[in-house]
């Protein structure tokens, strides 16, 4: 069943985003970043984020419709991120989407943000062959997920402390780089020697599929206190090497144990060049395809929400007017 163009709305963190997607064509994809607002605090301030979403949501949606060349009455549905994320930020998008779909008599569908990240990969590549193994790496999550079929999720491993993106952001802050730190570390690493600063690959000798980044972050902070201090580019490259090695080795372990037919890499940290290259190499060794979105669809956007919502609508799923923001929503809850 095809549902026509779907408007996606994403306000779970610090991007006010709206997009229109029809089948796998992205008709528009507008992302209004709040980076300028939060940069001086070195991280997202929830109250400020929610207020800025409330200011920006109407013009951002209007722009998405205009760029798509459509009016509200041309839409086949409205999809909105309903969790996980910052509750006040999520509530702005959910309230707006409910009001719009109620007034325009359009079907409404709540989308799990993490499922949205997975659908960014399907938007770019089409559906995965199943079973698939997905690594979702963002500012708030580091999850290794087993997908026996579309829409079914089993969490195999997760971070015990910081998320991967959080670790990139904290190390960048220790190096005096800008926020968000992931892209800065990615850039600076090009000029550094990844072997120059010895840093431990986390949980290297531990069984299982969990992740941990806090020990690695502490090792970076201690390395920076050495006299003379190491070159920032060498620290960035060495940290990135250890973090990526950790992510790839845990994913490979799960892949060897479970024999998936595809690997999926998604979430903001999936924009990282070294991680993309190393996981592509690993997928090649396993003889399975790697589905990874282009970098602009790795970080938060509403095209992925629209597409995930469209697939749910096509399966007959509808949210009711009681749809609410769920800050701790898990992938299997939806």
**Which positions touch Zn ion (CB under 5 A)?**
138, 300
Which runs of E-coded beta strand occur in 138-230?
A: 142-147, 154-158
Work out how close the CB of 90 gets to Zn ion at its nearest, in angstroms, rounded to a whole number.
12
Report helix, strand or coil for 189: helix
Of 3, 7, 9, 13, the one binding ligand KG4 by CB under 6 A: 13
Tell me how crowded residue 57 is: count the other CB atoms within 10 A of its CB: 22
Min dist CB 155 to ligand KG4, Å, is 17
Q: Is the CB of 65 or the CB of 137 nearer to Zn ion?
A: 137
Separation between Cα atoms, residue 175 and residue 179, nearest integer Å? 11
Nearer to ligand KG4, 47 or 296 (CB): 296
Alpha carbons 308 and 80: distance in angstroms, whole number: 10
- The nearer residue to Zn ion, 88 or 192, going by C-beta atoms, is 88
Instruction: Please select the residue that binds ligand KG4; options are 77, 93, 181, 293, rule is CB under 6 A.
Output: 181
| Count of residues near ligand KG4 by CB under 6 A | 19
Q: Is 182 in the site for ligand KG4 (CB under 6 A)?
A: yes
Conformational region of residue 287, where left means phi above 0, alpha means psi within -120 to 50, and beta covers everything else: left
Q: Which of 309, 262, 324 is nearest to 287 (CA)?
A: 262
- Asked if residue 84 binds ligand KG4 (CB under 6 A), the reply is no
Q: Which string of x and - marks every residue 105-144 that binds ligand KG4 (by CB under 6 A)?
A: ---------------------------------xxx----
Q: What is the nearest approach in angstroms of ligand KG4 to the Cβ of residue 240?
A: 8
What would the two tokens of residue 50 be?
């929610």
**Buried (b) or exposed (e) across 229-266, using 16+ Cβ within 10 A?**
ebbbbbbbbbbbbbbbbbbbebbbbbbeeeebebbbbb
Please tell me whether residue 183 binds ligand KG4 under the rule CB under 6 A. Answer: yes
Q: Name the one range near ligand KG4 by CB under 6 A: 54-62, 101-109, 163-171, 196-204.
A: 163-171
Q: Which of 192, 267, 293, 309 binds ligand KG4 (CB under 6 A)?
A: 267
151: left (phi over 0), alpha (psi -120 to 50) or beta: left
Interacting residue ranges for ligand KG4, rule: CB under 6 A: 13, 138-140, 165, 168-169, 180-183, 186, 267-269, 271-272, 299-300
């Amino acid at each position: 069943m095809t549902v026509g163009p779907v408007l996606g709305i994403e306000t779970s963190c610090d991007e006010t985003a709206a997009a229109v997607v029809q089948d796998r064509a992205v008709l528009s994809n507008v992302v209004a970043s709040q980076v300028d607002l939060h940069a001086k605090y070195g991280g997202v301030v929830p109250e400020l984020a929610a207020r800025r979403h409330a200011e920006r949501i109407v013009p951002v949606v209007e722009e998405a419709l205009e760029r798509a060349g459509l009016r509200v009455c041309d839409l086949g549905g409205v999809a909105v991120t309903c969790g996980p994320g910052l509750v006040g930020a999520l509530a702005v998008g959910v309230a707006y989407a409910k009001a719009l779909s109620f007034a325009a008599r359009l079907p409404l569908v709540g989308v799990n943000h993490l499922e949205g990240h997975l659908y960014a990969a399907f938007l770019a590549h089409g559906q995965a062959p199943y079973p698939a193994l997905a690594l979702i790496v963002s500012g708030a999550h580091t999850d290794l997920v087993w997908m026996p079929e579309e829409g079914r999720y089993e969490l195999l491993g997760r971070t015990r402390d910081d998320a991967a993106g959080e670790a990139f952001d904290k190390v960048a802050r220790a190096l005096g780089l800008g926020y968000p730190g992931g892209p800065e570390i990615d850039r600076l690493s090009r000029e550094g020697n990844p072997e120059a600063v010895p840093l431990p690959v986390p949980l290297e000798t531990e069984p299982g599929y969990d992740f941990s980044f806090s020990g690695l972050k502490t090792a970076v902070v201690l390395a920076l206190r050495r006299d003379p201090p190491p070159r920032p580019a060498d620290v960035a490259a060495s940290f990135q090497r250890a973090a990526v090695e950790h992510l790839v080795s845990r994913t490979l372990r799960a892949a060897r144990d479970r024999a998936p037919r595809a690997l999926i890499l998604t979430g903001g940290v999936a924009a990282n060049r070294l991680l993309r290259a190393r996981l592509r190499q690993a997928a090649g060794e396993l003889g399975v395809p790697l589905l990874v979105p282009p970098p602009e669809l790795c970080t938060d956007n509403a095209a992925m929400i629209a597409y995930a919502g469209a697939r749910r609508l096509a399966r007959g799923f509808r949210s009711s007017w009681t749809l609410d923001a769920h800050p701790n929503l898990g992938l299997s809850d939806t």
